[in-house]
Amino acid sequence: MKKMRPSFVVSAVAALLVAGGSVAQQQLPPNPLDNVPDKMPFDLPYGPAISLERAQAAIAAAVAESGKRGWKMNVAVVDSGGSLVAFARMDGAQLASIQISEHKARAAAVFRRETKIFENAIQLNQLHYISTLDGVIASRGGIPIIEGGRLIGAIGCSGGTGSQDEVVCKAGAGTINK
């Protein structure tokens, strides 16, 4: 095995350091997360909790839409604090989707936005840090319920594809959201 001369090793290390320094000095594209908006996004005030009667009406509309299309869904409605108010599981609906429908409703309520926004953030915008936030579910089918400009609850649907869940959820939320 041939020994390297110390001067060659020093020269090679110096060349690497210079090359590394020029890479560090290259301009990186601006980080979109560094943008500071003038107003708070999703600054929707919380209102009083949705009543059981209205929660059941939202579920009935979602179940009717789902039944009309031949889809078997789980539908959950939570109050403005994310606590379960009402739930329905259609005959034959996937058991795993019970908790998913509740999770979608809870995330829509406490984050004050549709869960589709989380899905888009990860899948379209590559904002993978979203998945590190407690309580997030990055799947459409969770929609806030708003009355008089205040969030009174949210509805979550699960059992089909994300787009099917979203269609059913919109039917339920539409009983209150106008």
**What pLDDT is stored for residue 26 in this prediction?**
79
pLDDT at residue 50 greater than cutoff 70: yes
Query: Quick one: what percent of the chain has pLDDT higher than 90?
Result: 75
**What is the rounded average pLDDT for all residues in the chain?**
90
Q: What is the DSSP letter of 176?
A: T
**What pLDDT is stored for residue 34 in this prediction?**
84
**What pLDDT is stored for residue 4 in this prediction?**
57
> Region 135-157: what's the mean pLDDT?
97
Cβ neighbors of 138 (< 8 A, separation 6 or more) are 115, 118, 119, 121, 122, 123, 130, 131
C-alpha distances in angstroms, 9 versus 5, 92, 109, 161? Answer: 7, 71, 62, 60
Residue 20: Cβ-neighbour burial (10 angstroms; 0-12, 13-18, 19+):
exposed
SS3 content of the chain, % helix, strand, coil (to 5): 45, 15, 40
pLDDT at residue 37 greater than cutoff 90: no
Distance, CA of 65 to CA of 137 (rounded, Å): 23
DSSP string over 14-47: HHHHHHHHHHHHSPPPPPGGG---SS-TT-PPB-
Q: Residue 31 half-sphere exposure, CB side, CA atoms within 13 Å?
A: 4
Mean pLDDT check: name the lowest of 40-49, 95-104, 155-164.
Answer: 40-49
Q: What is the pTM of this model?
A: 0.80
Alpha helices in 111-176 (DSSP H): 116-123, 162-173
Beta bridge partners of 7: none
Q: Residue 80 half-sphere exposure, CB side, CA atoms within 13 Å?
A: 14
Query: Quick one: what percent of the chain has pLDDT higher than 70?
Result: 86
Domains along the sequence of the chain with CATH: 52-173 (3.30.450.150)
